[in-house]
Structure 1
Amino acid sequence: MPWRLSAPRVLLRRLREAMANSPGGKVSLDAIVELVAANLVAEVCSIYISRSDGALELYATQGLKQEAVHNTRLKPDEGLVGLIASSARPVNLPDAQSHPAFSLRPETGEESYSSFLGVPVLRGGRTQGVLTIQNVHPRKYTDEEVEALQTIAMVLAEIIGSGAIEGVSPTEADPRRTQTQSAEGVVLSEGIALGHIVFHEPQVMVTRLISDDPASELSRLEMAVEQLRKSVDEMLERRDVPLTGEHREILEVYRVFAHDEGWLRRLREAVNAGLTAEAAVKRVQNVQRDQMLRHRDSFWRERLHDMDDIANRLLRLLAGRNETAASEELPKDTILVARTMGASELLDYNREKLRGLVLEEGGLTSHVAIVARALDIAAVGETENVLTMTAPGDAAILDAEQGVLHVRPSGDLVKSYTDKVRFRARRQAQYARLRDREPRTLDGQRIYLRMNAGLPIDVPHLVDSGADGIGLYRTELQFMISSNLPRLHQQIRTYQEIMDTADDKPVVFRTLDIGGDKVLPYIRHTHEPNPALGWRAIRIALDRPALLRTQMRALLRACAGRDLRMMIPFVTDVAELREARGYLNKELAHAKRHGYELPREVHMGAMIEVPSLLWQLDEILPEADFISVGSNDLFQFLFAADRGNANVAARFDPLSLPGLRVLRQIAESAERHKVPLTLCGEIAGRPIEAMALIGLGYRSISMSAASIGPVKAMVLELDAQKLESYVLEWLETGNQSIRARLRDFAEANNIPLG
């Protein structure tokens, strides 16, 4: 007898009544299989649940032998039930026993049944079990019957997940909740965090699955879909959304999903079958996830994230929740998990409670990664499927030194990391005690340890770290996290705030270093095959002088009565520095003409980060008030190794002979011309490499605030002259990296290397 149109609604109503009448809100699997069999006119209905070892155990049946319950266990790929679980797809057969995957279990007594329909019990993209029906007479079940059984399976998954099934704990149906799992990613900001998972966009837990009034639920659904469409359209029409680029592409995909009539039709059908609007969204989402995961085409698998995002947006609208987790009360040890997020969104969170950040997307150069480093938050990006493998409230350890997230860690793992965190804390306390000590070597040489910064929230670290000033302030970060071009008054206010916070300590402002991997969303950029060597930094500034002159004007106004130090990035020819100086002179004349107070002194410097300047040092040094070596770019160009490419970034050692000879050449030229010299780059922040720089003659280096303590501890135990003789002798006679020899030197002279 074929399934009737009213069957799912009747079945869902009876299931709700059974739950309402059960003690403690519990319902038995026996009651469910009995209800399903009766309402779908099936002679057999069975439920198999996945166990922690992957086996599928028969938990309840109506029609098969009761002694088979808990005694029949199938391997993950055994029989038709195993096929359904492994493929996460329904199986519909008029003659099940003729199928090659059929596996007869005599203890069940199923040899007399021909037709078979089984569907996976899916929750959160995971198969929790399998729901089947069988009949004696051969027949293929209709599409409506398949749809009905899938609807029941979806409700069953949510009931199991809520712990409302008698005799089945949520962890039995989803053993991941008790298993330790790990995910690897790319380190965005170093650190270690122990805490609990919080989703940036909180998931809506669907607790009411079965509707009392389908017409009312349909009305709620239609209103929420209309709100969703309107919100996506409004986002696309906002002036701060660029006309091209990844952000707009994602929103365009959202609009396609939101206006997909096929999606809306499936949602309506699920509501008409007796589900609430929220349960209907979850039901359709599960089916779409299954379909997309089966696609071999990577395009469709990548759209899975977009589909999940739009479904979750609709769920939040139905629940009346549009905020991110930043507006909620957070646990004191929050590890924030998101697919992606904007830099400004991260700044909305309570820094006191935020311990770590994990992103499915977001690379080392993303804006949010830059803010995470500024906030000194452990962060890892490009962590595939982290939203699927975690759940809100899960205990977790984020190792942002190795780039690993451990979810539901074992006791031994927690103890190991707790000891590691305590050791780091003791070491940081030791560095804190050095904060007010002047970094002077044992032979009396003053080493200036400055810090790199890029946002106003970085600047208070000047006091915390004991840095001698800011050796590199990356002004472009203010532009990168802004949704539109910062106006003159906004730039003035930002630079004044930085100068006020720094007090009497020097600040070196680098003019806009945009282009390459630093694309501003509100400035149109053409695609370049090699952006690192393309239209960027001073090249953009000289081609679009209004940008540069506005920034110079803001810096002159902000530094009134104080010293202004301005540095030009990516200079490749002395003529570029001269042209920039010409614009600065015009802005000085403009300020005088309008009666603005001028800075006490104005210093313009150049960054040495392009190898062509190595053969122009005698020309450019007389033109510069100071120079700063940008070792990151200089070394990647020198060794032809993209520092963002893991396949080649480790193929050279910055302490090898070519790099050190170049750095020594620059130091000798600066000394000869009596031009102040600083180095700002990653090598300055590692004690052994900072030691090499001091041996090469560098007396001013700039690094992250967190590196000041370890480097200062090294400096205080160092004899600079002895080291310099050691390093320069090696430059003449060595032929490989000096790293091992420096370690020997440090060990022989009791110099701490962190």
Structure 2
Amino acid sequence: MLLRRLREVMAEPVTAQDKLDRIVVLIAANMVAEVCSTYVLRVDGELELYATEGLNPQAVHQTTLGRGEGLVGLVASAAEPLNISDAQNHPAFSYKPETGEEIYHSFLGVPILRAGNTLGVLVVQNKAHRTYSEEEVEALQTTAMVLAEMIASGELTSIARPGAEPAVTRPLHATGVPLAEGIALGYAVLHEPRTLATENLIAEDVTKEVARLDESVDKLRVQLDELLSQDGVAPAGEHRDVLEAFRMFAHDRGWVRRMREAVLQGLTAEAAVERVQSDTRARMLRATDPYIRERLHDLDDLANRLLRILTGREHGPVAEMPDNAILVARSMAPAALLDYDRTKLRGLIIEEAGPTSHVTIIARALGIASVAQIQNIVSMVEAGDALIVDGGTGDVHVRPPVDVQKSYADKVKLRARRQAQYQKLRDKPAITKDGTTISLMLNGGLLVDLPYVEETGASGIGLFRTELQFMVSPTLPRAGEQEELYRSVLDAAGDKPVIFRTLDIGGDKVLPYLRTVEEENPALGWRAIRFGLDRPGLLRSQVRALARAAAGRTLRVMFPMIAAVNEIEEARTIVERELTHLRKWGHQLPERMMLGAMLEVPSLLFELDELLKHVDFISIGSNDLIQFMYAADRGNSRVADRFDPISPAMMRAFKLIIDSANKAGKPATVCGELAARPAGALALIGLGFRHLSVSPVSIGPLKAMIRDINIKDAEAAVMRIVEGDESGRDTLTQIAESIKLS
């Protein structure tokens, strides 16, 4: 009855203050309490009395408590209910004479929680010494959920003093891991919206809601059982253990009991799931045990699965998106990102991703400013919140103040002017002041990348990642689909070269329709060419599609993660077999076939001369080569910054490669992050590399730099590094930072 009355009050066309005043009266009457008060957490961290029934009304908007101060502050900081019969003798009691609460002894305070975040505190008090029952505590917590929705809606901002607005609207700044360059100003769109409309909180028929909850829990358990019984799930290992733990949570009687109790208090099944998960999240976020905090994601995922069953909503993009949308997600598959309207999508914030993850590669291809690894960002952001994403620095601003917005708006304008200047260089050659030509090609892997060849004035496509087509497809692409894509790429490039990399799958690049094997160290496991040679059917099909698409043209194909010369010999044999097959059946063949190897594994440094006899070109995958040289996983934030790519060791390795390639008369291209950074590109050019392949956004800045340097300056600086004098790195940086557009 209380919840229904509350819903009626919420729907009344009155001010926010009037609503709050009526709500505390309703709660006090229902709880037979002499006092009911609502405290709201402000942006400055203070808890302000917003409404009361029983205390001095003059204290409203005048009484404040620090977070942790008094009993109210204790409830806010602990995010747990406090139920005591003698408040004044509690060590945390704080006396506020203007409230007149000294005559009240019993105290029950519950946090006003939303997604585990404390928005305020709801309190009831009585003169008599009494301990409130569990049912009363549960009822007050349920009521607090309604208040949480009201606070989160922003209604109370209109009655707040400037600088003392509710904390739910406070600006936040966090720094994560930059994934994709660019600056995005826009509005939050949650990949998996968790919030429920206020009118969907309160049940019309409790019995029906209990039945809905029970039925959905049963469906959830069946789904998890089916997931564990799939052929692709290993019968043992860490992955299996994680899924078993996931299923254990779903069968936990306490979890289900708490949700049923919330429904019996008058909530809908969806609101009960939200309520229980919010309470759980609040406790786990304050846990010091890292294992417990890690399990929070499991429980969040479980609650989201259950909500999707209850609402009938599957994974997928929201129906309506603002023009400047910034997507916020805990995790997502690369194909899911492609479901969103790319004309409106400006930025991406994702908790669980790294610089080399699949969704990151797609985001870069789409030119979306992206940042990752900001803990709990999904719970800190509300749909529609103003956001700023700086993909260069990793900074994210939630609900930024006006001065920050203006600063970034100016930065975006400056960036746009600079991009316009780079655009003017599109048709100009990348030639140094002393006359050396550098070939600037771009990295791609999707159809959306193809217009960049023309837009950037790139010399060609130096790395086309063919596995992206497989990663974003729900089923294995047929040979005809592959052929169609490869022909489109060659058509878009025209007379410019395209280097296709064969499938680099396996390891951490899991395709949902292929059975995978659990490995202790997937980066060094069964992947790339190893997968292709052991399961040649997929490689043969791809080579055949490439050859048919390139009929009458030059076809350049390279094989990833070659670790020994015999692997390139085996790969060449497969190519020759497919060409013979096509020739036999009368198909037109490529006019010229060029085969190359990706140099990513350090063992090849000691077989360079032999390797170069078996290939027409080489391409250095700098990302993998550097991480393997230093035995430091570039996706692991604890070790990713423990090495310097422009170190004497790496510069000597790159010099060995280019000297050997030049001696053999074979072209060598560098792909990867090192080539895209101005100082790194300068170092490579100084060593003798004349072919760089980078992301589309890097071509303009690199061309501007190349046209403003003398090769001899870069050579002198990098040779100092090769000889052990690391001051050359500072010189390279200074040269890169002093570039003028010409």
What TM-score does the superposition give when structure 2 sets the normalisation length?
A: 0.89
* Matched residue, 2:133: 142
* Matched residue, 1:270: 262
Deviations 1:298-343 (A, max 9, x none): 444334334444445555665565463x342321111111111111
* Matched residue, 1:491: 482
Asked if the contact 1:281–1:311 (Cα under 8 Å) also holds between the matched residues in 2, the reply is: yes
Instruction: Indicate yes or no: 2:281 matched with 1:289.
Output: yes
Instruction: Indicate yes or no: 2:726 matched with 1:736.
Output: yes
* Matched residue, 2:419: 428
- In structure 1, what is the Cα distance between the partners aligned to 2:244 and 2:456? 45
- In structure 2, what is the Cα distance between the partners aligned to 1:339 and 1:275? 27
Deviations 1:103-124 (A, max 9, x none): 4445544444443322222233
Q: Which moved more, 1:380-389 or 1:485-494?
A: 485-494
- Give the deviation of 1:462 after TM superposition: 1.0
* Matched residue, 1:411: 402
Q: Pick from 491, 509, 520: which aligns with 2:500?
A: 509
Instruction: Indicate yes or no: 2:717 matched with 1:710.
Output: no
* Matched residue, 1:92: 83
* Matched residue, 1:590: 581
**Secondary structure of 1:489's match?**
helix
Structure 1 spans left out of the alignment, 5+ residues: 1-8
**Secondary structure of 2:145's match?**
helix
Q: Pick from 675, 686, 702: which aligns with 1:684?
A: 675
Instruction: Indicate yes or no: 2:121 matched with 1:130.
Output: yes
Residue type at the aligned position of 2:610: E
Deviations 1:257-290 (A, max 9, x none): 6665554444443333333444434333333334
Q: Which moved more, 1:477-486 or 1:504-513?
A: 477-486
- In structure 2, what is the Cα distance between the partners aligned to 1:167 and 1:733? 66
**Secondary structure of 2:558's match?**
strand
Asked if the contact 1:28–1:167 (Cα under 8 Å) also holds between the matched residues in 2, the reply is: no
- In structure 2, what is the Cα distance between the partners aligned to 1:246 and 1:357? 30
* Matched residue, 1:328: 319
- Taking the TM superposition and a 5 Å limit, the aligned residue runs for 1:393-472 are 393-472=384-463
Q: Pick from 574, 580, 602: which aligns with 2:565?
A: 574
Q: 1:715 to 1:70 in 2, by over 3 A?
A: closer
Q: 1:571 to 1:153 in 2, by over 3 A?
A: closer
* Matched residue, 1:76: 67
Asked if the contact 1:656–1:738 (Cα under 8 Å) also holds between the matched residues in 2, the reply is: no
Q: Which moved more, 1:283-292 or 1:15-24?
A: 15-24
Q: Which moved more, 1:45-54 or 1:18-27?
A: 18-27
Structure 2 spans left out of the alignment, 5+ residues: none
Instruction: Indicate yes or no: 2:166 matched with 1:175.
Output: yes
Instruction: Indicate yes or no: 2:35 matched with 1:35.
Output: no
- Taking the TM superposition and a 5 Å limit, the aligned residue runs for 1:180-191 are 180-191=171-182
Q: Which moved more, 1:395-404 or 1:240-249?
A: 240-249
Residue type at the aligned position of 2:534: D
Q: 1:629 to 1:170 in 2, by over 3 A?
A: same
- In structure 2, what is the Cα distance between the partners aligned to 1:497 and 1:677? 25
Deviations 1:164-216 (A, max 9, x none): 77985699997234422112211111111111111122344322144444445
Identical columns (%): 56
* Matched residue, 1:537: 528
- Give the deviation of 1:403 after TM superposition: 0.5
**Secondary structure of 1:39's match?**
helix
Asked if the contact 2:117–2:282 (Cα under 8 Å) also holds between the matched residues in 1, the reply is: no
Deviations 1:661-705 (A, max 9, x none): 333333332232222332223232233433333333322222222
* Matched residue, 1:3: none
* Matched residue, 1:5: none
Instruction: Indicate yes or no: 2:54 matched with 1:56.
Output: no
- Give the deviation of 1:377 after TM superposition: 0.7
- Give the deviation of 1:356 after TM superposition: 0.3
- Taking the TM superposition and a 5 Å limit, the aligned residue runs for 1:14-29 are 14-18=5-9, 23=14, 27-29=18-20
Asked if the contact 2:562–2:599 (Cα under 8 Å) also holds between the matched residues in 1, the reply is: yes
Q: 1:239 to 1:367 in 2, by over 3 A?
A: farther
* Matched residue, 1:44: 35
- Give the deviation of 1:345 after TM superposition: 1.0
Asked if the contact 1:171–1:177 (Cα under 8 Å) also holds between the matched residues in 2, the reply is: no
- Taking the TM superposition and a 5 Å limit, the aligned residue runs for 1:290-369 are 290-293=282-285, 295-312=287-304, 314-315=306-307, 321-322=313-314, 324=316, 326-369=317-360
Q: 1:646 to 1:257 in 2, by over 3 A?
A: closer
Residue type at the aligned position of 1:76: R
Residue type at the aligned position of 1:280: A
Q: 1:249 to 1:499 in 2, by over 3 A?
A: farther
Q: 1:728 to 1:334 in 2, by over 3 A?
A: closer
* Matched residue, 1:6: none
- In structure 2, what is the Cα distance between the partners aligned to 1:241 and 1:198? 33
Instruction: Indicate yes or no: 2:123 matched with 1:117.
Output: no
Residue type at the aligned position of 2:572: R
- Give the deviation of 1:723 after TM superposition: 5.0
- In structure 1, what is the Cα distance between the partners aligned to 2:115 and 2:243? 24
Q: 1:266 to 1:543 in 2, by over 3 A?
A: same
Q: 1:256 to 1:482 in 2, by over 3 A?
A: farther
Asked if the contact 2:187–2:387 (Cα under 8 Å) also holds between the matched residues in 1, the reply is: yes
Q: 1:744 to 1:35 in 2, by over 3 A?
A: closer
Q: 1:82 to 1:485 in 2, by over 3 A?
A: same
Q: 1:238 to 1:644 in 2, by over 3 A?
A: closer
Instruction: Indicate yes or no: 2:379 matched with 1:388.
Output: yes
- Give the deviation of 1:348 after TM superposition: 1.2
Structure 1 or 2, whichever has the larger Rg, is 1
Asked if the contact 2:490–2:550 (Cα under 8 Å) also holds between the matched residues in 1, the reply is: yes
Asked if the contact 2:560–2:598 (Cα under 8 Å) also holds between the matched residues in 1, the reply is: yes
- In structure 2, what is the Cα distance between the partners aligned to 1:648 and 1:263? 38
Q: Which moved more, 1:289-298 or 1:413-422?
A: 289-298
Q: Which moved more, 1:494-503 or 1:365-374?
A: 494-503
Q: 1:439 to 1:62 in 2, by over 3 A?
A: closer
Provide the aligned length of Structure 1 versus Structure 2: 741
- Give the deviation of 1:511 after TM superposition: 2.0
- In structure 1, what is the Cα distance between the partners aligned to 2:460 and 2:640? 30
- In structure 2, what is the Cα distance between the partners aligned to 1:315 and 1:647? 35
Deviations 1:465-490 (A, max 9, x none): 11111112222233333444434333
- In structure 2, what is the Cα distance between the partners aligned to 1:483 and 1:202? 23
Residue type at the aligned position of 1:53: D
Asked if the contact 2:112–2:121 (Cα under 8 Å) also holds between the matched residues in 1, the reply is: yes
Asked if the contact 1:54–1:76 (Cα under 8 Å) also holds between the matched residues in 2, the reply is: yes
* Matched residue, 2:685: 694
- Give the deviation of 1:606 after TM superposition: 1.9
Q: Which moved more, 1:141-150 or 1:253-262?
A: 253-262
Instruction: Indicate yes or no: 2:368 matched with 1:377.
Output: yes
- In structure 1, what is the Cα distance between the partners aligned to 2:647 and 2:147? 63
Asked if the contact 1:336–1:356 (Cα under 8 Å) also holds between the matched residues in 2, the reply is: yes
What TM-score does the superposition give when structure 1 sets the normalisation length?
A: 0.88
